[in-house]
Every structure is written in structure tokens, then in C-alpha cells.
Amino acid sequence: MSGKPKLHYFNGRGRMEPIRWLLAAAGVEFEESYLEKKEDLTKLRKDGSLLFQQVPMVEIDGMKLVQTRAILNYIATKYNLYGKDLKERALIDMYVEGLFDLNELLMMHVYLPADQQDQNFANMMDKAENRYFPVFEKVLKDHGKDFLVGNQLSKADVQLLEVILMVEEDKPDILAKFPLLQSFKARISNIPTIKKFLQPGSQRKPPTRPEEPTCKGNSSVIRMYIIKHRMP
């Protein structure tokens, strides 16, 4: 048996993508088992692999971990991406929770009915530009370091970069008013493990678009089920 973590989810971003990002940032190779149809999810449930009957699920260190935050916290702790003390960990958690709120809007947008897309897009871009990104611009200014917390990379840095790149896919100039975030993006993107993950051919997943074939048919059914029935 391989010693690599094994990720169970569909072949797309969803709630597994932050986990892929964090493993990649830590320089950890991982395998993936994709859920292509409802029967794949049913099988995992029946064999007792899903504690709460939901994915994401990650097999790591002899465990079958579920719940996105629990998985991320384990990986961050194991690979020293969770700060040096309790205060740093509290700050990291606080920043990550804010990023989860924005990420939720981004993730669900593509699955909304067509008549809600424009309004939701405007709403999430407004929140990114006027609620969330100003916070992180200020954090970087006040902290005065290369990272959000302390003097080393943490899961907060990794997830902020992930969210920035997701927003830029829809609004490339979103960082125009945020010079410190622009520098942060360039700096964190150049960390060797992350730079590798950003290259074509990596296990990073592309954005899902409603007009694409991957959003149709049975694959869409399982994606919709997983996302709508799984709170992070």
C-alpha cells in the first residue's frame, strides 16, 4: 500500500480543493479516487468509510478523516503550517474562517439558476473587493511581514492565495486597489511547492463553468449532491 494520502471526492474543486492546495504546499504527494456516480458514494457509505455519510474524505496515517476543517487542521499541524503557538493558531483560524465564507460564495455560484447568476456575481465581487480583501490588505500592512501570521508560511497564506486566484478568474483586476495583496500573491506563488502546483498538469483543478460538458449529465448530479449536502 502506498504511503501517500488518498483523497475521495469528485474530479473537480468543491470542498476538496483547499485540501489539495494545502498538501501541495506542504510538498506532499497524494492520490485521488474520484466519485463519478452516485453508486461510488453509496459504496463508501456502506463500507463505513464516511463517519457522517459525507465527503470529502481523506485516508491518511491509517485514518479516514472527514469534515473539511478537521482534515485541513490535521494536515496543517502535521506539516508545520499552523503557527508556532496558540495565539498564532487563533489568528490563522480567524483568517481561514473568513476565507471559507468567501470561498462558499465562489464555489456555489456556478450551480445557481441562470436567472440568479448576474446578481450573485455582483454580490460576491462586491464582498471580495469591499469586505474580505481590505481586511487582508490591512493585516499585511499591520503585520509588516511576508506572511499573514508570524514569520513562516501557514494554511492561512495558502488559502488566501487560492481564493485570490479564484476571484481573479472572474475579475482579473480585482487586486488593483490592493498593492500588498499583489505582492503577497507574487511572493507566495513563487514558493517552490506552490509554484509547482500552479503549473499545467498538476492536481489543481480547473474552474467549473455551467456551459461546459463536465457540468452536465451524471457527473453534475453527483457534484450537486455532494456540494449541497455537505457543509464545511
Tell me the one-letter amino acid at 8: H
Confidence of residue 109 (pLDDT cuts 50, 70, 90): confident
Total domain count, the chain? 2
User: What is the rounded distance in angstroms from the CA atom of residue 28 to the CA atom of residue 212?
Assistant: 31
User: Could you report the per-residue pLDDT of 154-196, keeping only the tens digit for each?
Assistant: 999 999 999 999 999 999 999 999 999 999 999 999 999 999 9
| 91 and 75 within one domain | no
**202 lies in which domain range?**
6-79+198-228
> Does residue 218 fall inside a structural domain?
yes
Q: What is the CATH number of the domain that holds 141?
A: 1.20.1050.10
| 186 and 94 within one domain | yes
Q: What is the CATH number of the domain that holds 69?
A: 3.40.30.10
- Global pTM reads 0.89
